[in-house]
Structure 1
């Protein structure tokens, strides 16, 4: 795998969970969330992207268990359109079914209370998305099939 950071976003109507890899692409860690409601959202993300210079960005693609796009999918595509206006970094869509559930379970297992978990669940979901992308990159040479 190429050396460099990778970034994942878990888009939500209130918060955007963020995860970032180490330079070797082995470890994914949660990062501070962005507020979806911020009028400066894309300026804040542009600064973040400029600071960390990722090789690629992965955005969770919310689908129903049946594989059909969810109602949230349209909001995610609008978010990606905004990202494309601020960066030339490749952006991939990755199936995010059950990532929030997985993130919540991991926080519970780590002993984080339900109340405290609300502040961390989006970043935990982003970590799950990024880990999945990096695993796919190791196995297949690309983080996802779908380049946004």
Structure 2
């Protein structure tokens, strides 16, 4: 049973997928946001192709724990995914994941232009690994 993670950015969506045993997260893709309908359609195909049974979505709250405009957008996207695709969506606190992703990409000596594009995918990997690690502690 695979888990898919989504990091919803302003222009791009980063995607990461777990291995079938739900131990390791790996980057999958980066999509340019071209509207909700396009996103859900592409996501539905991805869910079918990878036999995804669970989706985690990065939950953007401030460092002080307050919700904001992006939080509302992510909630809306989660509701859309659940209603159209029919898979439960769980939220994972994504505070500082973008900074952590940027650090990983810098350490990997990735050029600035490419880093900007890969940032959301790496953030999705971090979000998913955090979720997988916390799930394994629950069992």
- Please tell me the TM-score bracket, short chain as reference: over 0.9
Instruction: Tell me the CA shift for residue 49 of structure 1.
Output: 0.8
> In structure 2, the residue corresponding to 1:118 is in which secondary structure?
helix
Regions of 4+ moved over 2 Å: none
Q: Given the alignment of the two structures, is residue 106 of structure 1 paired with residue 104 of structure 2, yes or no?
A: yes
1:19-98 equivalences under 5 Å are 19-38=16-35, 39-98=37-96
Equivalenced residue count is: 138
Partner of residue 12, structure 2 = 15
Please give the alpha-carbon distance, in whole angstroms, between the structure 2 residues aligned to 1:29 and 1:12: 18
Instruction: Tell me the CA shift for residue 37 of structure 1.
Output: 1.8
Please give the alpha-carbon distance, in whole angstroms, between the structure 1 residues aligned to 2:114 and 2:10: 19
The unaligned stretches of length 5 or more in structure 1 are: 142-148
> In structure 2, the residue corresponding to 1:111 is in which secondary structure?
coil
Structure showing the higher helix proportion among its residues: 2
The unaligned stretches of length 5 or more in structure 2 are: none
Deviations 1:25-73 (A, max 9, x none): 1211111122222452211111111111223110000011111113210
RMSD, matched Cα? 1.2
Larger relative contact order (Cα-Cα within 8 Å, sequence gap ≥ 6): 2
CA contact (8 A) 2:14 2:122 kept: yes
